[in-house]
Structure 1
Amino acid sequence: MNSSEPQLDVSMLPMMKIHDWFDGPYPARVRIALAEKGMLSRIEFVSVNLWKGEHKKPEFLAINYSGTLPVLELNDGTLIAECTAITQYLDVLDGSPILTGQTPVEKGLIHMMTKRAEIEFLDAVSVYFHHATPGLGPQVELSQNAEWGGRMRDKAVRGMHYFDSLLKHQSFIAGDTFSMADIAVLGGMIFASLVKLHVPDECEALREWHARMQERPSVQEWRAMVEHGAPQS
């Protein structure tokens, strides 16, 4: 995807804050996108400890009503939650979108596949984690439904098969170019690994795609951040 618009010098962009947790699957989506855009140096990360339930405390709920991470905070106090919305904002900020598409067709396909990655895979793993495993612990998991969690685990596996079927015929989730949709599926794979939900052996195309994704500098930068440990708030 080549942009006809001039690309801004990233170093000229304003500093921003992102409220997240260093190894969370959803925060990973935004961090990988930032690395793809070369914007990590413009971000101050504010740590919100998921395991202590800080995202459900009144102080954080005043920032994000839904009590979810990550949240982007701009210099003027504007708060943008939801991974897709944050990535959309960041991708066009420098005048050279590479993750959300250039043409109307590209934009539509990428948005469609990102939504499917969330519904069919990433969010299903999340429900499994929160309902059919200890999740974030009794202080956070106040109401669990193990049967529902198990159904969502099965849905996530079906999602893996779906994306495997796509990747048998194309290089990336939304077509021939790496995009926000690939990052969403990567988030699902990260979450699946955390809950030890294994990719079926027969999903060879998905496994091959995932191996290729591990070679991307942005994914390696994300992994280095995780290995470095939790940032100080």
Structure 2
Amino acid sequence: MKIYDVEGFPNPTRVRMALAEKGVIDEVQFIPVNVMAGEHRSAEFRAKNPDASVPMLELADGQFISQCTAITEYIDGTYPGENLCGRTPCERAVIHMMNRRMEAGLLDAVGDYFHNATPGLGPELEAEQNPRWGLIRKRKAIETMEYLDEVLKKSDYVAGDRFSMADITAYAGLAFADFAQIEIPDRLKKLAAWRRRIASRASVAS
């Protein structure tokens, strides 16, 4: 199995954490993609992944899978170990719901701010910025942090009483917020405590 990615980027981090949770990260070949040079937008890369995004999974039979949730689903269903995507229909539904909320409201919102209201990845890659939209999305990211703090007052993890891919997405979103210099409000004590717990997991250090 091959993963095309950029180490340290938010979405690749999600997949690497999922692999580490399953204990199989050493079984994967990672292929770096030169995003700064626009390699992900090349015709060759788009032929494999029309999304022009990383990470991308390549299977042994030559099939390509993109999008973090889809890749995590594949990893979760292929390898034994801690379940990340849900064991019952209800649990799966809740995990997917919360994972999408963390994607749209936190990780994607931070990304929109970073790419539109900051220098982002530089003028060659950020050719069509909309600073006003970026600031709107920054507010959305902070609102989602506040929502997540309320969620964590009622449950130990983002989607219930155990760790799941929704926690991975939220953790990566907060790391991206740090990088984009979006300050996490000090008043969100439950969120801060949850983040410390997730940071102590072996998969974060992998």
Amino acid at match of 2:144: G
Question: Partners of 1:55 and 1:71 in 2: how far apart?
Answer: 10
Amino acid at match of 2:198: M
List runs of 5+ in structure 2 lacking aligned partners. none
CA contact (8 A) 2:85 2:165 kept: yes
Structure 1 residues 52 and 39, CA gap change in structure 2 (3 angstroms):
same
Per the alignment, in what secondary structure is the counterpart of residue 57 of structure 2?
strand
Partner of 2:168: 183
Partner of 2:100: 115
Q: CA deviation at 1:187?
A: 1.3
Q: CA deviation at 1:49?
A: 2.0
1:69-93 CA-to-partner distances (Å, cap 9, x unmatched) read 1000001111000000000010010
Amino acid at match of 1:116: R
Q: What is the alpha-carbon root mean square deviation over aligned residues? A: 1.1
Q: CA deviation at 1:94?
A: 2.4
Instruction: Name the TM-score, length of structure 2 as normaliser.
Output: 0.97
Residue-pair matches, total: 206
Amino acid at match of 1:72: L
Partner of 1:45: 30
Partner of 1:58: 43
1:118-163 CA-to-partner distances (Å, cap 9, x unmatched) read 1111100011111111111111112010000010001000010000
Question: Partners of 2:177 and 2:37 in 1: how far apart?
Answer: 21
Partner of 1:212: 197
Q: CA deviation at 1:51?
A: 2.3
List runs of 5+ in structure 1 lacking aligned partners. 1-15, 222-233
Q: CA deviation at 1:220?
A: 1.3
Question: Partners of 1:154 and 1:47 in 2: how far apart?
Answer: 32
Specify which of 47, 50, 74 is matched with residue 59 of structure 2: 74
Specify which of 85, 88, 95 is matched with residue 103 of structure 1: 88
Question: Partners of 1:173 and 1:35 in 2: how far apart?
Answer: 19
CA contact (8 A) 1:53 1:136 kept: no
CA contact (8 A) 2:113 2:135 kept: yes
The answer to which structure has the higher helix fraction is 2
Question: Partners of 1:94 and 1:23 in 2: how far apart?
Answer: 23
Partner of 1:227: none
Specify which of 145, 150, 155 is matched with residue 140 of structure 2: 155
Partner of 2:177: 192
- Percent of aligned pairs with the same residue? 47
